[in-house]
Chains A and B, each alone.
Chain A
């Protein structure tokens, strides 16, 4: 006697299924991303162009106190570009694409299927992780190949780099998801996302030495994650004396990670509270 094969019970929220669908979503997101030239341009080429332009124009050195070796400007500039590149691949990219998907009904279409919401976010974070990592590799590659940037040799510095990367990517991705609440139509997305991001880049000392930013702007920058990401990556790439000029004498990597963890928590709560699955009617 042969037993009939039992109908498998459908468990929509089984961890294995969510993982598998997050992976499916990541693959589709990547495919869509790399087939949209505008997105690839803004996410990758813009930061890469900035690295090339700034490193070429400001080819000088940052002078240290007597007795230490000066630091090439590119060595100072590239870690900041990594931070801002990550923010572009996570916060800016996610906020803009998700806002469009909310308003044009793509999310409504997905919400009519048995796709768990967590898998939708899984796909977005998978996309952000992949593009952010690619961005880091690109910027570092150009910095090392063209502008003689020295990679850290101390494993502890690489560990800090990794920690800041993971905390920064997670916090900024969730922040981008929460931020979609402020975007009232898909055509407004870029106008709502880019200005604050651009201002943060300036006051966080991405394009200039942080010590050149007026103190009251530094105080504002310190409220947001970008300044801390820049600081964390600079720690990994620069000698300690640079911190004396720029960050009050200490790199404070523990504080960097703590602030980013705080932003991670805050963004998670905000994303839970503010994210709307369907905003087709609100435009």
Chain B
């Protein structure tokens, strides 16, 4: 796999404050990579360095083979950037502004089709000032992909959208990545990272503390499973069995935390059957969600999960 992005020891300091303390990362061509991290942890700084909007204090970086500090219009023509917030074209319609941006690129998609793709077909001739926040976010996305870029940076692409709108944006991103394009995504929505990303990286206090597949990150795959079921009827009156794990009953729900969930479920099934119950009511086996893992990582680093400004 060829690398779309490489970063080696990337640092950024503002006076004595170190926003990035040496980030190493390689993102492959065609990969969807999500950057997670609390506000103020350095995500945006890192992405803006890759986008060529900021200089770095030290370290090396290449994006599509070019140092972003030296990227010219030829390089820009291969990038799509969806900024977190940027000035808007209140007086223009989605069709007009998308067609205008298309004219900047040597090869571009059909702007009307892009407006359709992002779900704005019905609003294509409305002035942008009349659009809702979520609809404006779709215009942002349209402007980011109309140049048919090889690599897209998406900075919180679905913030402010309703669940249906978010799914629609995900579809656009999937359609885009199915063409072998690379996506770098920053997001606060862990489910978004899980849905879209091949790999996620967690930045805390300017350091990339963990990189991995969403289902493996933070030892998630090997983490203890949690088994729970309701204690009602006969089961509430009998003693709980010995299952070799921590078992806990409160408010009519029994919970077992274990590293061998399959064996425990088998034991519990036998125990229930012994008491004449064929089906354990409300049985659920769960692993910690990406969000649980992420919050644990942030807490471990001593960061408030929603600290700092913007």
Q: Which residues of A contact B (CB under 8 A)?
A: 8, 10, 12-13, 20-21, 24, 28, 31-32, 35-36, 100-101, 104-109, 111-116, 278
Interface centre among B53, B72, B76, B87 (most CB of A within 10 A): B87
CB distance from B87 to the nearest CB of A (A): 3
The reply to whether B87 and A31 contact each other, CB–CB distance below 8 Å, is no
Interface residue from B79, B85, B91 paired with A112 (Cβ < 8 Å): B79
Contact of A31 among B53, B91, B143 (CB under 8 A): B91
Contact between A101 and B87, CB atoms less than 8 A apart: yes
1/0 contact trace for B66-86 toward A, CB 8 Å? 000000111011010101011
Which residues of B sit under 8 angstroms from A111, Cβ to Cβ?
53
A78 CB to closest chain B CB (Å) equals 32
State the CA gap A106–B76 with chains docked (Å).
16
Q: Which of B51, B74, B100 is within 8 Å of A114, CB to CB? A: B74
If A36-B91, A113-B104 touch, whether A108 touches B73 (CB-CB below 8 Å) is: no
| Nearest residue, chain A, Cβ from B85 | A105
Q: B83 touching A112 by the CB < 8 A rule?
A: yes
Q: Mark B124-150, 1 if CB is under 8 A from A, else 0.
A: 000100000000000000010001000
Please, which residues of chain A bring their CB within 8 A of the CB of B189? Answer: none
| Chain B: CB-nearest residue to A106 | B87
Bound Cα distance A183, B103 (Å): 31
Tell me if A112 and B53 are in contact (CB < 8 A). Answer: yes
CB neighbours (8 Å) of B89 from chain A are 32, 106
Cβ 8 A contact of B83, one of A21, A32, A35, A109: A109
Interface pair A10/B74, CB less than 8 Å apart: yes
Q: Is the CB of B87 within 8 A of A109?
A: yes
Note all chain B residues with C-beta closer than 8 A to A12. Answer: 72-74, 77
User: Can you name 19 A-B pairs with beta carbons within 8 Å?
Assistant: A12-B72, A12-B77, A13-B73, A21-B103, A24-B100, A24-B103, A28-B92, A35-B92, A35-B127, A106-B86, A108-B86, A109-B87, A109-B143, A112-B83, A114-B73, A114-B74, A114-B104, A114-B106, A278-B53
Specify which chain A residues have a CB less than 8 angstroms from the CB of B73 in the assembled complex.
12-13, 114-116
**Complex: chain B residue closest to A116, CB-CB:** B73
Count A-B contacts at CB 8 Å: 75
User: With A113-B76, A114-B104 in contact, do A104 and B87 touch (Cβ < 8 Å)?
Assistant: yes
Q: How far is the CB of A2 from chain B (nearest CB, A)?
A: 22
Q: In the bound complex, what is the Cα–Cα distance between A21 and B106 (angstroms)?
A: 12
3 closest cross-chain pairs (CB), A and B: A106-B87, A12-B73, A104-B87
Report chain B residues within 8 Å CB of A113.
76, 81, 101, 104-105, 147
Beta-carbon contact of B85 and A114 below 8 Å = no
Structural contact, A10 and B92, CB atoms closer than 8 A: no
Contacts A113-B101, A278-B53 given; indicate if A10 touches B77 (C-beta within 8 A).
yes
Known contacts A12-B72, A112-B83, A115-B73; 5 additional CB pairs below 8 A are: A35-B91, A106-B86, A112-B81, A114-B147, A278-B53
Number of interface residues, chain B, beta carbon within 8 A? 27
- Shortest C-beta distance, A39 to chain B (Å), equals 10
Q: Does B96 contact A (CB under 8 A)?
A: yes
Please report the C-alpha to C-alpha distance between residue A20 and residue B104 in the assembled complex, in whole angstroms. Answer: 10
Known: A21-B103, A24-B100, A112-B83. A31 touches B92 (CB 8 A): yes
Cα–Cα, bound, A12→B92 (Å): 26
Which residues of A sit under 8 angstroms from B77, Cβ to Cβ? Answer: 10, 12, 114
**Would you call A112 and B76 a contact (CB within 8 A)?**
yes
Q: Which B residue's beta carbon lies closest to that of A102?
A: B87
Partner of A28, one of B76, B86, B87, B100: B100
A112–B105 Cα distance when bound, in Å, is 12
Which residues of A have CB within 8 Å of B143? Answer: 109
**Are A106 and B91 touching (Cβ within 8 A)?**
no
Q: CB within 8 Å of A: which of B30-84?
A: 51, 53, 72-74, 76-77, 79, 81, 83
Chain A proximity of B190: nearest CB distance (Å) = 27
Chain B nearest Cβ from A187, distance in angstroms: 14
Contacts of A36 in B (CB 8 A): 91
Cross-chain contact of A21 among B53, B88, B104 (Cβ < 8 A): B104
Q: Which residues of B in the span 225-278 have a Cβ within 8 Å of any Cβ on A?
A: none
Known: A10-B77, A28-B92, A106-B88. A115 touches B83 (CB 8 A): no
With both chains docked as a complex, state the minimum distance between the C-beta of B104 and any C-beta of chain A, in angstroms.
5
Tell me how far the C-beta of B142 lies from the nearest C-beta in chain A, rounded to whole angstroms: 13
